[in-house]
Each structure stands twice: as structure tokens, then as C-alpha cells.
Amino acid sequence: MDKRVVITGLGIVSCLGNDAVSVTESLYEGRSGISTRQEQIDIGMRSHVAGAPDID
């Protein structure tokens, strides 16, 4: 039962950036990816803050 796994790449998608360089810069500069999210307010969620990645 030999199964092989091949990893072809590595990446980051986070609220601090979408690549390793952006995330590293955000961390060094002390940026927070946490913000108030209007979508959560609109649907009545009790928590209005989140760290949402920019994936558009």
C-alpha cells in the first residue's frame, strides 16, 4: 500500500497578505489584519470584527 504524495507549491492567503513577502512585511510593521466587517453587522452577528483575506 505505497501511496505517493507530491507537493508542487507553497503559498499563503491570510488577512495580512496573499504572499509570503506581504505577510512578512505586515508582521514586521505591526499591522493587524483584523477589521470591522460590515457584512457581519448586516446579518446581525454579535461579533463585528474578523480577519478576512482579500481574495477578490
Residue boundaries of the structural domains of the chain: 1-56
Q: Where are the beta strands (DSSP E) in the chain?
A: 35-36, 49-50
The three three-digit cell numbers of residue 14, written as one number: 491570510
- Tens-binned pLDDT, residue by residue, of the chain (56 aa): 789 999 898 889 999 999 999 999 999 999 999 999 999 999 999 999 999 998 87
* pTM, rounded to two decimals: 0.65
Q: Say if CB 16 and CB 24 are below 8 A apart.
A: no
What is the reported pLDDT for 56?
A: 74
What is the reported pLDDT for 25?
A: 96
Q: Which amino acid is at 33?
A: G
